[in-house]
Amino acid sequence: MPSAIDNSQCLLEKDEFWMTKALELAQKAAAESEIPVGALVVLNDEIIGQGFNSPIHTCDPTAHAEIQAIRDACKKMNNYRLPGATLYVTLEPCSMCAGAIIHSRVARVVYGATEPKSGVVESQLSFFDSSYLNHRVESLGGVLADQASEQLSNFFQYRREQKKRLKQQARGQSVCDE
């Protein structure tokens, strides 16, 4: 008979597997100059929805990875509710996304990096623990957090360097003059 430790190890391995897929989606966002956040919705070990950050390209401030993945899953399931589903996202959800998670009845959220400025699962709030909510969401943070944080750091470092180059070009300086 498997022990609780065996079961939790198996679950962690599954969580890491799916988070790896979410990190791949985040890379697609980065390739489109969007903040690299990827998300997918899994039900019965199958991806039913996926998305990545795309508010700039879609001109839609609600086009966060979580929202995109939930919309995709709801469309595929032909239902606005996703009971029993797990949402994997590379960055701790914001308040808007946490609201969508509650309304869609996602059962569990697994995220990678914390978001100290606007994350509401643990950083700024413990939103899912709020007593007034009519749905409970299990959450687990820190799954492949180092990879998710590194992906975000690399993206923002590249953007800062790009901005610096553009300023230098505007002033007529060569990047090689440094």
Q: Active-site residue 66, yes or no?
A: yes
Residues in the chain: 178
Task: Give the Cα separation of 63 and 59 in Å (integer).
Answer: 8
Which residues are part of a known binding site?
64, 94, 97
Closest CA to 106 of 77, 78, 130, 135: 135
- Cβ neighbours around 81 below 10 Å, total: 13
Q: Which two tokens stand for residue 135?
A: 């749905």
Which residues are part of a known binding site for Zn(2+)?
64, 94, 97
Task: Give the Cα separation of 37 and 23 in Å (integer).
Answer: 7
Task: Give the Cα separation of 133 and 77 in Å (integer).
Answer: 24
Q: Give me the catalytic one of 24, 34, 46, 66.
A: 66
Write out the DSSP string of 91-120: E---HHHHHHHHHHT-SEEEEEE--TTT-T
Q: E strand or H helix at 50, and its extent? A: strand 46-52
Known catalytic residues are 66
